[in-house]
Amino acid sequence: MMAYYLGLALRSSRRSRALTALVIVLMGCGVATCMVSYAVFRATAADPIPWKSNQLFVAQVDNFGPTKTYQGEPPDLLSYTDATALLAASKAVRQALVYPVSLSIVPGDSQRQPFSLPGDAVTSDFFAMFDVPFRYGSHWSAADDAHRAAVVVISDALNRQLFGGADSVGRVINLDAHDYRIAGVLDDWNPRPRFFDLASSAGGAFGAPGQIYIPFGHAIDLQKSSSGASYCSSTDDSSSHGPGWSAFLRGECVWISAWVELPTAADTRRYRQYLGNYAAEQQRVGRFAWAPNVRLRSVMQWLDVEHVVPKASKLSMIVSMGFLLICLVNVMGLLLAGFMRRALEVGVRRALGASRGAIHRQFLVEAAALGLAGGVLGLLLTLLGLSGIRLVFEAKIAGLVRLDPALVLLTVLVAVITTLIAALYPVWRAAQVQPAWQLKSSG
């Protein structure tokens, strides 16, 4: 029976070539516009660590006060005092402090010039917390953290550049005129968005991946300042504690991201309560002159607060959905006109014993066939649209957008389903044709 309905649909399309072509073009354009916008939105709004994002939280403590914060929100980052206090308290299963650094590499080959690369100063839990994969070796130990050892984890790209991709664990590299022992080499790892140092990294959510990871305590000992964001509550904040690095650490400037891993809802409640108690204690000892103001946000909440999804992406998604809706209304009108022109055909079929259900199935199969053709056209237009996405979005975002099997399947499904939705009313109207009246009027 399905083959019979498809044959009827093919004959109908041949009789009404212009109407058929118009429906296919409308659906193709509408779906392609929607899918291009969705592809960008999907790339920028994707969960960077979906298997455990609801267990990872960033901690915020207001050390600026209500007169120096925006809309009552605490600073995105922590001061050195607060960050190290949370780390020492060990109230989470895992906890990591992170801040971006820039390091100069002096190659062992004297013929090569030193060069700088982005990296991060992190505590040892960072790697296990974020499920960072290793090609060779592993991360440094908690003991290395405690002894502030000169160890380093490097990216696979840097390992290929320096050692030709060989196992370099145990070898020594020179960073900023200091020797570091390589503890591990990362496998391919580049979460997008780059959520773990989102607020502090100069590269932003979709910047280049870090190439070097050194122990947080060792970076502090070397007085490595942040290469990203650093905010102070007032212009003379550091000077009020005296000159130099020690004064900066004692000051209220914020520049460190603090992440904690909390596997259960009960763990989350306890840690949130701990944060509130910590801020209350700072108020009690006179450091804060305001009520506790803390936040504990999961990965996706953090991405939302930091407005990671570009406004242009959200706007284009809304506009494209509106355009698809306009296309559907026009397709509905065209299908209604096309189906009602075949009232005599419907009347004859009904007079020969076809039920309304059979008429419904006939026209729905025809609409699905048109939707499938529109989906194929939409797929070609989507591919064309994605190739020109760099004209609208910056290169680092456009580079994330690609046509994968999931998007191909979604494009075709959206085209077929939306065409069927547009056909519901025209099909219902066509099935209401009275066979006796049609045969009488045609005779």
CB atoms within 10 A of CB 93: 16
C-beta of residue 400 within 8 angstroms of C-beta of residue 46: no
| Range 265-269 contact pairs with CB under 8 angstroms and sequence separation of 24 or more | 267/92, 267/93, 268/57, 268/296
- Segment 19-49, tens digit of pLDDT: 888 888 999 999 999 998 888 888 888 888 9
β-sheet bridge partners, residue 102:
118
Q: Within 13 Å of residue 86, how many CA atoms lie on the same side as its CB?
A: 34
One-letter-per-residue 3-state SS of the chain? CHHHHHHHHHHHHHHCHHHHHHHHHHHHHHHHHHHHHHHHHHHHHCCCCCCCHHHEEEEEECCCCHHHCECCECCCCECHHHHHHHHHHCCCCEEEEEEEEEEEEECCCCCCCCEEEEEEEECCHHHHHCCCCEEEECCCCHHHHHCCCCEEEECHHHHHHHHCCCCCCCCEEEECCEEEEEEEEECCCCCCCCHHHCCCCCCCCCCCCCCEEEEHHHHHHCCCCCCCCCECCCCCCCHHHCCCHHHHHHCCCECEEEEEECCCHHHHHHHHHHHHHHHHHHHHCCCCCCCCCEEEEEHHHHHHHCCCCCHHHHHHHHHHHHHHHHHHHHHHHHHHHHHHCCHHHHHHHHHCCCCHHHHHHHHHHHHHHHHHHHHHHHHHHHHHHHHCHHHCCCHHHHCCCCCCHHHHHHHHHHHHHHHHHHHHHHHHHHHCCCHHHHHHHHC
β-sheet bridge partners, residue 134:
186
Residues with pLDDT less than 70, the chain: 1-16, 108-111, 199-203, 234-242, 341-356, 359, 394, 431-443
What's the pTM? Answer: 0.78
Residue with tokens 């002096």: 106
Q: What is the pLDDT of residue 262?
A: 97
Task: Give CA–CA dist 383/379, Å, rounded.
Answer: 6
CB neighbour class for 308 (10 Å; exposed up to 12, middle 13-18, buried from 19)? buried
- Residue 27 tokens, joined: 């659906």
CB neighbour class for 242 (10 Å; exposed up to 12, middle 13-18, buried from 19)? exposed
Closest CA to 251 of 241, 243, 260: 241
CB atoms within 10 A of CB 339: 26
Q: What is the pLDDT of residue 364?
A: 81
Compute and round to an integer the Cα radius of gyration of the chain.
31
- Residue 145 tokens, joined: 């953290």
C-beta of residue 137 within 8 angstroms of C-beta of residue 114: no
Question: How many residues in the chain?
Answer: 443
β-sheet bridge partners, residue 345:
none
CB atoms within 10 A of CB 421: 14
C-beta of residue 427 within 8 angstroms of C-beta of residue 339: yes
List b or e across 355-380, with b for residues whose CB sees 16 or more CB atoms inside 10 angstroms: eeebbbbbbbbbbbbbbbbbbebbbe
Task: Give CA–CA dist 210/301, Å, rounded.
Answer: 23
β-sheet bridge partners, residue 172:
181
